[in-house]
Structure 1
Amino acid sequence: MAEGLGRLRAFVRAMALGGAERRYRRAVLRSGLFDRAFYRGAYPGLNPIYRRFPENHFIVHGEGMGYRPNPDFVPHDYLRLNPDVAAAGLRPFLHFVTIGHAEGRPMRDVSPKEVLPAIEMPVLRLDPARAKAEQAIVVHVFYPDLWPEFRSILRGIEVGYDLFVTLTWRGEESDRLKALIQKDFPRATVVAVPNRGRDILPFLHLVNAGVLDGYRAVAKLHSKKSPHRVDGDQWRRHLIRGILPENGLATRLAAFLADDQAGIWVADGQHFKGAAWWGSNLACARQLLARIEVGVEAEALAFPAGSIYWLKPLVVGLLKSLRLTPQMFEEEAGQLDGTLAHAVERALGYLAASAGLQVRQASEVVARPAAQRVRPRLVSAFYLPQFHPVPENDAWWGRGYTEWRAAIAAPSCYAGHLQPMLPADLGFYDLRATEVMGAQAALARQAGVDAFCVYHYWFDGRQVLDAPLRGLLRRPEVEFPFYLCWANESWRRNWDGLSGEVLLNQSYAPGFEAALAENLARYMRDPRYLRPDGRRPRLMIYRPEDLPDPAANVARLRDALRGLGVGEVELGAVSFHIAGPQVVVADVFDFWVEMPPHGLVTAEDYLFGGPQGNRMPVPVSAGFRGLVYDYARVAARAVSPEYRAGLPANTIAGIMPGWDNTARRGMAAHIAYGAHPGSFRVWLRALMREGLAGSYRQELFINAWNEWGEKAVMEPSQTFGDLCLQVLAEATMAENMHRATAAGDGGQSMPRWATA
């Protein structure tokens, strides 16, 4: 009741202005000099009534507290610079809007302020293999006199952490402070940074350097005085203690980490929602988020205010993927709103939401029941063995050609287009080096990928792109679990396998089944070849509809493999999106595989190139004649009951991290807009709720591991790092952890599917 009465009194005071106050308000509104958006953004603690009528708050409270009605007017400066106004006891902004503005009176003190030494942003290089705690805490110190307060807080933290401190460079004073910090915390990483981008750029500098990779959570603090607020010290302490409570941090942090819907943790009262909080930052935030194809609905604004919070690794990684550089941040000039740093603060909420993650306030960080989701029992990923030169590609595309050449040359088709997409950890590899395949398998295993489904290019006895697997068969010590998918479509010059000049024809000569079986058998005898049920080697056919007589061809292929001593084979096929010359009865195969985007994209999903015209949220390049569709809409359709009911009963659920064949088709590309690790997580978790339970053997199939020419890749990229692998690891974590710890063998115990 008391709270309700308080709100009522606040409403009455806000609306029931006295006569002089009403005249003041009319003068302010007539002048057009009061910036509502700025005031709301600069002073986020306004109650809802005052947020609706911010000029009332300024007149009743704000002016006396030194609040600014616009970025350029400082009430206390105005009185100091205009002593006649002060002597007359006049209200500064009222005088300015009625007289002072016309007279050109100074609005703020523009005398030279403290000029901090100019330095370059330091280069950070830390050993990625160094011992790490599970958490990292980052502190930016602009005000050196606040360090003792932070030292006291940090010394009382009950969980293990690695400390990173950035100092605004002030010459010798910073050297002394750095020595003091390292004396207090000998293992801390302390770096001096230029006075630019407030606390945001120093934090992003650590993020971009990769020094915050690999932590389960990262806390960000800064020496916040907020001199434009009379309650600056109280607010700072509330923000810090909201995420670093004096008691119970370990329990709270465990609850935050276990909450798979939480991405950000802030103090109570700091989760700001609604378009009224944009201030002057909407346009900048929209441009910022377009860099990774995250859309902005203005009314959906929800972000952690105060810039003090805990972040989950995926949110840190998405911040990194924005690739913001120091040159993008404005010079410091006392701005209270409208800078890139302010836009990043608001964009953070959209980054989390794009991954299906929420902002939790301190009182909401509590133990929650685990979400009911089905985890995959076996994860496969399509694997392209193309990345090495062969005579055929030399002849057709130029000497030494591999798909890396196309990937590097992919053009940008619209503002913010994420092309070219280039490899990171594994580099521009050559698959003739079998060690590369071992490195790929190690990355895959850590994320929960159990086997690669390798495309097998066999054309009536002629085999191409087989050097990687031939090398693998000679290296039994290289761990690379695999099985084959016979890519039985003809090769054509326009890459789609459906039209254009035929480069390599699939003719299905009489007796091809026996010849194919003999070719396959040598791979199936390898101990690394996948047998999901422990008995039958698995084989897939990419285009069963292209077979001249699918049922008869499959039967003869099975017989031929039995005759070679291979035994029974678990035979599957891709559920393709375009009908072939033959109709295939579903039970010809043991299973089918979904292969997004095949069969999922409809005209309703087109953002460009469809019947609804151009609906792209960003400008499209002149000359682009391809198709762009909405990744999120396709993902939603993939888990819809209507779509899944139309699949064969024995279908393996499929997913794609992205799709963009610009590298192959240039300005005629087909592109999934909005595909990034966050939206991949949303699709994957929806599939775990709605699709995996009905998937064949409860399996998951990923398109693809390394289709760089189609930007369907799980491998680490220069844009997103290993975030897609992190997302997949989260989905398979229980089983991976069991294999690595319960068996006590470093992750080499029986895989999930061995006991299926």
Structure 2
Amino acid sequence: MGKKVLAVHLPAFHEIPENNKWWGDGFTEWTNVKSGKPLFKGHYQPMKPKDDYYYDLSNVNDLKYQAEIAKKYNVYGFIFYHYWFGNGRMLFEKPAEMLLNNPDIDINYCFSWANQTWITTWHGRDPETLLEQLYPGEQDWKQHFDYWEKFFKDERYIKVDNKPMLYIYNPSEIPNYDKMIEYFDMRCKEAGFAGIYTVEYIYPRNPKLFSKKSDAVYEFEPRYSLFFDISKFNLLKRFIIKKLKMTDYQSFDKIWSYILNRKRTYDSKTIISGAFSGWDNSARKGKESMIVKGKTVPKFKKYFEKFYTSDRENISEEFCVINAWNEWSEGAYLEPDDKDGFGYLEAIKEVVDKYND
């Protein structure tokens, strides 16, 4: 039995009052996507969904369609970004809640708590705090778990050994992190589970395993490779490019070579390996963006097959993760576009089918 392919899911493709206030009426993630402009000859911008399908994730039928094509092409489940800022303050909770309330939608899922303060960083605006990430303490842990519990009890919610799987984006920023995880673990056991299964993101902001309480780590690509695996000279070069507000060009093939040849371990923790389909956040950041050049469907299929069958030490035999299902503004998506159609999804399906016959 091969691994289950999970894809990071961005729920920001629908209007919310906060975005209308911050960015103008009618703003959704598609607004960013449509603003993309080519920076060089042959640069695929703006990126466009196939058949101009600019879906609305406040519409249950659009969510159903995502689930249908994910299932068809062997994407086992979505990792929904979950925005909880403390004291019950959330954003973009509607798609996951619609999924919960529509048990006929056939897709597995779990949460990634994207715990970070929101600031203005798009389109050249000076940094300004939009919504601060707060950590009020134990009462907030209770309120947070009370919200999660109904999702955890959903049979579609992904579990490992009867433990609900929870990704945490910035564990090192959370005060009393270990006590919080112990509390969630206790509450899970009270709810009839074997505990909670926490997965730490590993990327530049979290450069190493933060807590022994975490069950696994997730290598968040391509940011992981472009911080930990490149030479010190190239890391310095990237730093200078950023300071000069220039475009940071990187190689699709080189990043994949880092992913496929990695040997790093984390105190014997399970490693949920990360992959990516592409990267180009120029729709958000213009000339101050990072663009990974050279991606094609045949290359992705070749690299993904090696990734999928990796026998690296401590690697999870059950899951692997692709960044992302629908990060269109960052050029990291599997959904069909007007350039490659269903090519990336077809590549995943062919590889998974090959090793699950």
**TM-score using structure 1 length:** 0.43
Alignment match, 1:544 = 171
- Is the CA contact 1:605–1:630 (under 8 Å) kept in the aligned structure 2? no
Cα RMSD (Å): 2.9
- Equivalent residue in structure 2 for 1:700, among 320, 327, 336: 320
1:578 Cα shift?
Answer: 2.0
Is structure 2 residue 148 aligned with structure 1 residue 520?
A: yes
Is structure 2 residue 249 aligned with structure 1 residue 594?
A: no
**CA separation of 1:556/1:412 partners in 2, compared to 1, >3 Å: closer, same or farther?**
same
Is structure 2 residue 304 aligned with structure 1 residue 684?
A: yes
Alignment match, 2:251 = 630
**Aligned residue runs from structure 1 range 274-313, under 5 A:** none
Q: Deviations over 1:643-680 (max 9, x none)?
A: 32245541111100001111111111111111232222
Alignment match, 1:644 = 263
Alignment match, 1:421 = 47
**CA separation of 1:541/1:577 partners in 2, compared to 1, >3 Å: closer, same or farther?**
same
Higher strand proportion, which one?
2
Cα distance between partner residues in 2 of 1:678 and 1:402: 32
Higher helix proportion, which one?
1
Q: Deviations over 1:3-55 (max 9, x none)?
A: xxxxxxxxxxxxxxxxxxxxxxxxxxxxxxxxxxxxxxxxxxxxxxxxxxxxx
Instruction: Could you tell me which runs of 5 or more consecutive residues in structure 2 were left unpaired when the two chains were aligned.
Output: none
Secondary structure of the residue aligned to 1:651 is strand
- Is the CA contact 1:651–1:696 (under 8 Å) kept in the aligned structure 2? yes
- Equivalent residue in structure 2 for 1:714, among 298, 312, 334: 334
- Is the CA contact 1:660–1:711 (under 8 Å) kept in the aligned structure 2? yes
**Aligned residue runs from structure 1 range 227-306, under 5 A:** none
Cα distance between partner residues in 2 of 1:390 and 1:683: 38
Task: Determine what percentage of the aligned residue pairs are the same residue.
Answer: 27
Is structure 2 residue 52 aligned with structure 1 residue 431?
A: no
Alignment match, 2:119 = 492
**CA separation of 1:565/1:394 partners in 2, compared to 1, >3 Å: closer, same or farther?**
farther
**CA separation of 1:583/1:536 partners in 2, compared to 1, >3 Å: closer, same or farther?**
closer
Secondary structure of the residue aligned to 2:189 is helix
Secondary structure of the residue aligned to 1:420 is coil
Q: Deviations over 1:339-377 (max 9, x none)?
A: xxxxxxxxxxxxxxxxxxxxxxxxxxxxxxxxxxxx742
**Aligned residue runs from structure 1 range 124-203, under 5 A:** none
Number of equivalences: 348
Cα distance between partner residues in 2 of 1:578 and 1:691: 27
- Is the CA contact 1:692–1:700 (under 8 Å) kept in the aligned structure 2? no
1:626 Cα shift?
Answer: 2.3
- Is the CA contact 1:550–1:584 (under 8 Å) kept in the aligned structure 2? no
Cα distance between partner residues in 1 of 2:122 and 2:167: 21
Alignment match, 1:24 = none
1:425 Cα shift?
Answer: 5.4
- Equivalent residue in structure 2 for 1:529, among 124, 135, 157: 157
- Is the CA contact 1:660–1:672 (under 8 Å) kept in the aligned structure 2? yes
**TM-score using structure 2 length:** 0.88
Cα distance between partner residues in 2 of 1:435 and 1:407: 22
Structure index of larger Rg: 1
Cα distance between partner residues in 2 of 1:547 and 1:612: 27
- Is the CA contact 2:71–2:107 (under 8 Å) kept in the aligned structure 1? no
**Aligned residue runs from structure 1 range 18-417, under 5 A:** 376-417=2-43
Secondary structure of the residue aligned to 1:672 is strand
Cα distance between partner residues in 1 of 2:121 and 2:62: 29
Is structure 2 residue 77 aligned with structure 1 residue 469?
A: no
Is structure 2 residue 79 aligned with structure 1 residue 459?
A: no
Is structure 2 residue 166 aligned with structure 1 residue 578?
A: no
Secondary structure of the residue aligned to 2:226 is coil
